[in-house]
Amino acid sequence: MTSIHLALEIIRLRPGIDDLSDIDCPDCHAPMIIHQPDESLPDRLIGICDSCTGWFLIEAAAGLIVRLPDDEALRDA
């Protein structure tokens, strides 16, 4: 297995403003499509932006969003 290092940017959810079903893209502020891949982890969500194609891991319990690397970043790893 190859290890890679990624610089992850932490984005804070705005309490009382960011409804979990209606989170805007931190990059382009378009509404994101929110996915819940694991029903046993309702606070761990994936947000996908249709507009800029960004993917984000959302840790709702901690109030954090982390931008996931795009395919280009992973190809260059």
Contact with Zn ion (CB under 5 A) among 41, 52, 61, 77: 52
DSSP state of 57: E
Residue 25 makes contact with Zn ion by CB under 5 A: yes
In the complex, what is the shortest distance from the CB of residue 63 to Zn ion, in angstroms, rounded to a whole number? 19
Residue 49 makes contact with Zn ion by CB under 5 A: yes
d(CA 67, CA 46): 10
Task: Please give the residue ranges that form the binding site for Zn ion (CB under 5 A).
Answer: 25, 27-28, 30, 49, 51-52, 54
